[in-house]
Amino acid sequence: MQDTLKDAVPFTIVCDTLDNPDNIPSAVLDNAPYDTVLTSFSLCTAKNPQAALDSIFSLLKPGGTYVFLEHILHPAEDDATVVEHEHLNVKLWSKLQDWLTPLSKFFFHGCHLNRQTDKMILNMDGWESVEYKSIPEAFALVEEGVYRCSGVLSSEQIKYLDTLSLKTVLILSVEGPSRALSQYMKTKGIRRIHLGMTRWQANLGWKPVSEELIKDALECLLDKRNHPLLVVCSSGVRETGTLIGCLRKLQHWNFNSIVYEYRSFAGGKGKYTQELFIELFDTDLVTLPSSLPEWFVEEQRMWKQEQQQRFAELYAKPTTEQA
């Protein structure tokens, strides 16, 4: 293992370098070809993306893998991957990207929001196979074995779920999952827990959700026998954001950090009542399952140790030396 690490050479290649093969560092060329080339939000800023793709292709060995993460021009209205957005008609997405691209290029080092990078890659000759996956909206890793995203998924976004090896999908909204997601869960044998329907309550007053829903959802989320687990709701923000905020409170996060995470996902869809619900939620309502994930157990141990140390420092009696 030590010899392998000694011989390994890490490389960082900026996208401008790939536009012109003559500018690629000799150290990179000397160690080519490679098993894998990875780019992340690079082709959107390349001055000549096709030339950059040709350079990437030349660096790969036969049978090598090119992994990319890029934002692209929103698909056309008749594209099978299109999902109707909750707050913005899909017809406006591509126009909005066109309008914002000049500003994006100026402030973000030439980033093109309206580039059809996916089609450029897919249309290149020489690929043995191409697997295209689109990341779901509001997707994130919450903790090891726990994920979150919007419950409205396109066929391409559902393909991305294959990478998670899900065991359970926890649905928090009253509305059921889309037909495509329901079929996916059935085909893959994924357990479906629809708490949003079974724990729905009317006349909650100012509260955006019920304590019973959040309590039961937390107990389900913290049972590692359900992992890997995906938490979804119709928007990916309302119920899901409230649940994750209450989880962070149970993890003893600082409230400012909880609100920051909530607002990062909510954007313009965030509501003060949800933040207030998180702040006032009584974590003592939650009955911790017997099978807790390791990350939660370790966090609780560290927090308890820290509290004991603070208590000891606070109440420590000063000692005086005897003459």
Residues involved in catalysis: 233
135/119 Cα distance (integer angstroms):
17
Paired sense of beta strands 146-150 and 140-143, if any: antiparallel
Beta strands in the chain (DSSP E): 34-40, 60-69, 140-143, 146-150, 168-171, 191-194, 229-233
Is the CB of residue 125 less than 8 Å from the CB of residue 252? no
Residue that the structure tokens 């207030």 belong to: 276
Enumerate the β-bridge partners of residue 141.
147
Q: How many other CB atoms are found less than 10 A from the CB of residue 106?
A: 10
- At 53, give phi and psi (nearest 5°): -65, -40
Paired sense of beta strands 34-40 and 60-69, if any: parallel
Q: How many other CB atoms are found less than 10 A from the CB of residue 60?
A: 18
Q: Is 40 helix (H, G, I), strand (E, B) or coil?
A: strand
What separation in angstroms does the CA of 301 have from each of 36, 55, 131, 163, 258? 40, 50, 42, 31, 20
Is the CB of residue 228 less than 8 Å from the CB of residue 166? yes
Residue 138, both tokens: 């509001």
The C-alpha torsion from 109 through 110 and 114 to 117, rounded to 10°, is: -90
